[in-house]
Amino acid sequence: MASLNKVCLIGNLGRDPEVRYLPSGDPVANFSLATTETWKDKSGAKQERTEWHKVEVFGSIAKIVQEYCSKGKQVYLEGSMTYQEWTDKDGVKKITAKVKLSGQSAKLVLLGGGGNGARREDPGPGLPSGAPAEDFQVSDDDVPF
């Protein structure tokens, strides 16, 4: 039986990306992404909740992130969920969740609004071009089930 580990998010960068390089010379970019849900409660008052996601981007997409993404920039991304276990200085086991973008199935689309990064029309082979948020559409073909 097949399985699927896919995360799709639209949100705003919470900070400028931090880029480091692997021994192979490949870049890795890390940033936080904020997604905000709004609704009205029973009394009609507007409520809002922001979720923060850690994102780790590898390879050629990390170069795009480094060059064109900055705090506040709105992006659409597709990746997979990963979990890293570690032990803190007091010996307590911790788990960190991250959205990982790597390989052929990873996508990052620069959307309109926010940030100081420039918009890139042609990000290179195999990568989606940036599109304004109002042009973003999802069809039934995009849903994996």
* C-alpha–C-alpha distance, residues 65 and 109, integer Å: 10
pLDDT at 12: 96
pLDDT of the residue at 112? 79
Give the per-residue pLDDT at 135: 44
- Whether residue 77 is contained in a domain is answered as yes
Residue pair 13/31 in contact by the 8 Å Cβ criterion: yes
Domain span including residue 64: 1-37+49-113
* Model pLDDT, residue 117: 45
Whichever domain contains 1, its CATH number is: 2.40.50.140
Q: Is 143 exposed, middle or buried (0-12, 13-18, 19+ CB in 10 A)?
A: exposed
Report the domain count for the chain.
Answer: 1
Cβ–Cβ under 8 Å, residues 77 and 87: no
Give the pLDDT of residue 1: 82
Say if 58 falls within a structural domain: yes
Helices marked H in the chain: 60-68
> What pLDDT, in 10s, does the model give residues 64-87?
999 999 999 999 999 999 999 999
Is the residue at 120 inside a domain? no
Residue 122 belongs to some domain of the structure? no
The answer to whether residue 15 is domain-embedded is yes
**Which residues are bridge partners to 98 per DSSP?**
82
Does a structural domain hold residue 20?
yes
Tens digit of each residue's pLDDT, the chain (145 residues): 899 999 999 999 999 999 999 999 999 999 999 999 999 999 999 999 999 999 999 999 999 999 999 999 999 999 999 999 999 999 999 999 999 999 888 999 999 765 554 433 334 444 444 434 444 444 455 445 4
Question: How remote is the C-alpha of 87 from its chain's centroid?
Answer: 26
Spatial contact of 84 and 105, defined as CB atoms under 8 Å apart: no
